[in-house]
Structure 1
């Protein structure tokens, strides 16, 4: 059981860190870069990015995997010193999932549904997308997932420390 507990905690830490990195790259490079382009380029590029990111590696292993692995790590650590850190990390990451489903995905989907950038009013589509709202909520996801990653890293440290003590 100890091996599975450590493996699930390691997987939770790695996938949460991966998601924190994805959100951070959107906050620090992708969205600021797209903010400087014309409406047609913005709509086309964002639609392409959104289609590309919806794949089993991202949605299954990363986005949902972080939640599942953290839950599993918590369930396998019920009597361990690391549990409070894992539990808080789970709640913080769960909030990022809720924000994603409630805010970012509907905005993404509406922009995709607007249609082909060659045939639509791209200025209207971009305005309806509401970049400021998307970026604000992505920042929330970035901060919360980064804190969750740090908490899981601390839980790994505590788990390793308790394994080496008599």
Structure 2
């Protein structure tokens, strides 16, 4: 059981970190880069990126996987010193999931539903998207995702420390 607990905690830490990294990449590179392009390029690139990210690798292994693996790590650590850290990490990551589903995904979907950038009013579509709002909530996901990853890392440290004690 100890091996499974550690494996679940390692996997939770990795997947949470990867997901936080995606949010970080959007915050530090993707959105700032798109902010500098014309409306047609913005709408087309964002639509294409959003279609690409909605798939089993990011959604299954990363986004949902991080939540499920953190829950599993917590369940396998019920009598361990690491449990409070795992629980808080789970709660913070759950908030990123809620924000994603409640804010970012509907905004993404609305921009995709606006239509083909070759046939729509891309200036209106971009304005309706509200980049500042999207970035604000993405930045929240970055902070919470990184904090969750850090807490899981601390839980790993505590797990290793208690395993090393006789």
TM-score, structure 2 as length reference: 0.99
Question: Distance in 2 between the 1:57 and 1:121 partners?
Answer: 32
Aligned to 2:76: 76
Cα offset for 1:19?
0.7
Q: Which residue of 2 aligns with 1:5?
A: 5
Q: How many residues align?
A: 166
CA deviation string 1:96-155 (max 9, x = no partner): 000000000000000000000000000000001010000000000000000000000000
Structure 1 residue runs of 5 or longer lacking an equivalent are: none
The corresponding residue for 2:105 is 105
Coordinate RMSD, CA, aligned: 0.3
Moved over 4 A (4+): none
Matched residue, 1:117:
117
Show CA shifts across 1:30-84 (max 9, x none): 0000000000000000000000111101000000000000000000000000000
Query: Quick one: distance in 1 between partners of 2:35 and 2:62?
Result: 26
Counterpart Cα distance in 2 of 1:57 and 1:161: 33
SS of 1:78 mapped into structure 2: coil
So what's the TM-score if we normalise by structure 1?
A: 0.99
Inter-partner Cα distance in structure 1 for 2:83 and 2:25:
29
**3-state SS, counterpart of residue 33 of structure 1:** helix
Structure 2 CA distance for aligned equivalents of residues 128 and 156 of structure 1:
43
